[in-house]
Amino acid sequence: MPVATYLQAVNLALKEEMRRDPDVFVMGEDVAVLGGAFKATEGILDEFGPDRIIDTPISEALLVGAGVGAASLGLRPIVEMQFMDFISCGFDQLVNMAATARYRHGGGLRVPLVVRGPTGAGVHGALFHSQDPEAWFTRVPGLKVVAPATARDARGLLKAAIRDDDPVIFLEHKRLYRSVKEALPDEQEPEPLGVARLARGGSDVSIVTYGGTLPLCLAAAERLAAEGVDVEVLDLRTLLPMDFAAIARTVGKTGKLLAVHEDRRTGGLGGEILARVVEDLWDELDAPPRRVTAKDTHTPFAPTLEAFVLPSEDEIADAARGLAAY
């Protein structure tokens, strides 16, 4: 098929899975008539009708609660958050209900729910339209958390998430929606959840990243290649469960680790990655592992301040250069 954007890949996966399985349906704020705030659900109403794509009131708690109920009864709901910041309104339903259901029922109840939507900053969305909420959920047993960074993975991982029998939080970085493009095959099987992808091979420094910071890491790696520093970039893709075996392979290869993400530094996933590497791979390390993250503050509206808060290509290149020279 022709080159598709990340956003078009999401739309394609939704339509393909709805054609494949009549139990799959979509609900959310403005998803039907408008086609979603970012047009991720454009054209679905025309093809599938109002019984399969449902415009809802502006109540994320209602949305997630209805999704948990529908999934518990055997359907496969896809709930769109207009912005992932507001997933906090459905936190109780996700963490205390959906995530615990299988355990509470001795494996006898599945909740095949997908909660998906735009996450992240870099588009001047300010306080309530810029957050990266993954770390709220990556410590919750029973959930899966997915953060694709390419159009192919957006399509393949979303298909896998929809078919999964556990609740999945699917984070689509809004900065990637139209900036990332890729030729997609006419037919594409689901990409397995829980498996990282080697985005770039290298021998001097390992960068472990995901979602919106992958393009920055790849650009920094290309810049350093011109300086003679060979950087390997691992794209986690799935954050829970995390592919620690892939992290161990790249750290064992280079001995130097840089974790990069757009979420804030304190409590972010990078700290967990560094902790596990120090605990389990101490003998493999040739330098203290490092992090490049957003600063521990809210996301400003002003573009210059937003750029100051967010991780940059320069910061990533400087940190990797320092590790290589250690």
Active site positions, annotated: 129
Beta bridge partners of 172: 118
Question: 189 exposed, middle or buried (CB, 10 Å; 0-12, 13-18, 19+)?
Answer: exposed
Rounded distance between C-alpha atoms, residue 259 and residue 286, angstroms:
15
d(C-alpha 133, C-alpha 290), whole Å: 21
CA separation for the pair 257, 289 (Å, rounded): 5
- Helix or strand (DSSP H, E) at 18: helix 6-20
CA nearest to 207, candidates 123, 321, 75: 321
Interior CA angle at 275 toward 273 and 280, to 5°?
Answer: 95
Task: Please list the alpha-helical segments (H only) found in 226-268.
Answer: 244-254
- If we measure between CA atoms, which residue out of 149, 148, 151, 158 comes closest to residue 4? 151
Question: Which amino acid, 257?
Answer: L
The burial class, CB within 10 Å (0-12 / 13-18 / 19+), for 261 is buried
DSSP E strands in 38-190: the ranges are 53-55, 76-80, 114-119, 144-146, 168-173, 181-183
Q: CA-CA distance, 199 to 197, in Å (whole number)?
A: 6
Token pair 């529908």: residue: 70
C-alpha distances (whole Å) from 190 to each of 119, 153, 162 are 22, 9, 10
